[in-house]
Copies of this chain bind each other. A is one copy, B any other.
Amino acid sequence: MGGDRAPAEIVAGGRLAAEAGLPVLLVGPPDTLSGLDTGELPILAATEVIAMDEDPARAVRTKKDSSLVRAAEAVRDGRAAAMVSAGNTGAAMASALLRMGRIRSVTRPAIATAIPGAKESPTVLLDSGANVECTPQMLVQFAQMGAVFATARYGTERPRVALLSNGEEAAKGSPAVKEAHELLAAGLLDGRAEFVGNVEGRDLMTGTVDVVVTDGFTGNVALKTLEGGLRFFMRTLAGVLDSGPEARSAAETLLPLLAAAAQRLDPDEVGGAMLLGVDGVCVIAHGASSAKAVLNAVRVAHDLAAGGIVERLRDAVASAPAS
């Protein structure tokens, strides 16, 4: 029921996923869903809906029969292997956290978002919005979880992990970043990942590192700044391509090539962000998700669940040297 284009596009995406062999359980009000073409998809009834702009914590507390809360319970109870939502991000997080619980030893879950860039596999940014304030120990755990995610999701062996800072030198950063740097440099990543120090904002799309660790405030600002910058550039380019008859004629040649290049930047292709650290798979798709975006998010959720991401995260956090 979540997302700007729900429920129609969400249901359509679920059907696409089922056609692709990924079993999908719809969660929502049966009377609303009965008006849509849900095909053969089973429905888990949930009579309430948490709106995009509702206060997450309160909504999850009061709307116990909402689609988000019921979806998280379905994962907790083993009726589903993963949950996918394009709805209220905070409420999806709160539902997952409160109903699935945290992985043992995880202080706070973090949102891992994939940023496409120069390399084949994207750079994973976490935390991209869950925790405004972070201790150095939380940043260290994000590094550990991000490394596991990069390997599980993109097959990156020994991912390169960095801290986002205002300079590459170890002495740069907020007090929390500097202390996390010391901890990670002292070996708080096990041998399956490599800590490469600090990177700057300009390194998010160069593909020089596989995982970038930051607090949820800075991560949100960086991600949205990137979105805004790319949108500005796209609009500027569109203006140039439509600026006269000659430009429009040249644009005819270029548009298919540009569309192919832009496809890599399409949020619908990315497959959603994952909430790392809760005791279950929770994938958060873009609010504007189309059916295709939902299909991709379901595919990611399926693959992560099938690959045992939660067990791998549990092992990595449990086996990390104590900070």
**Contact status of A201 and B217, CB under 8 A, knowing A174-B132, A257-B240:** no
**A204 proximity list for chain B (CB < 8 A):** 225, 228-229
Query: What is the count of identical protomers in the complex?
Result: 2
Which of B205, B232, B237, B251 is A232 in contact with, Cβ under 8 Å?
B205
- Does B231 contact A202, Cβ atoms closer than 8 Å? yes
- Does B257 contact A164, Cβ atoms closer than 8 Å? no
CB contact list, A208-228 vs B, under 8 A: 214, 216-218, 220-228
Per-position 1/0 for A255-268, Cβ under 8 A of B: 00110010000000
**Contact status of A261 and B240, CB under 8 A, knowing A133-B174, A233-B230:** yes
- Does A220 contact B166, Cβ atoms closer than 8 Å? yes
CB contact list, A81-139 vs B, under 8 A: 117-118, 129, 132-133
Per-position 1/0 for A234-255, Cβ under 8 A of B: 0111011101001101110110
Q: Would you give the shortest CB distance from A3 to chain B, in whole angstroms?
A: 18
Which of B206, B225, B239, B253 is A247 in contact with, Cβ under 8 Å?
B253
Does A77 interact with chain B (Cβ within 8 Å)? no
List the B residue with the shortest CB-CB distance to A231.
B202
Does A175 interact with chain B (Cβ within 8 Å)? yes
Known: A165-B217, A202-B228, A206-B228. 15 other contacts (CB 8 A): A132-B174, A166-B216, A166-B221, A200-B221, A201-B224, A201-B226, A201-B227, A202-B227, A222-B222, A229-B230, A236-B261, A237-B261, A246-B253, A247-B253, A249-B253
Q: List 26 A-B contacts (CB under 8 A).
A: A117-B232, A118-B232, A132-B166, A132-B174, A164-B221, A165-B221, A200-B228, A201-B220, A201-B222, A202-B225, A205-B228, A221-B221, A226-B226, A229-B229, A236-B261, A237-B261, A240-B254, A241-B254, A243-B257, A246-B253, A247-B253, A247-B254, A250-B253, A250-B254, A251-B254, A254-B254
Interface residues of A (CB under 8 A from B): 117-118, 129, 132-133, 164-167, 173-175, 177, 200-206, 214, 216-218, 220-233, 235-237, 239-241, 243, 246-247, 249-251, 253-254, 257-258, 261
6 closest Cβ pairs, A-B complex: A202-B228, A201-B224, A201-B225, A250-B250, A166-B220, A229-B229
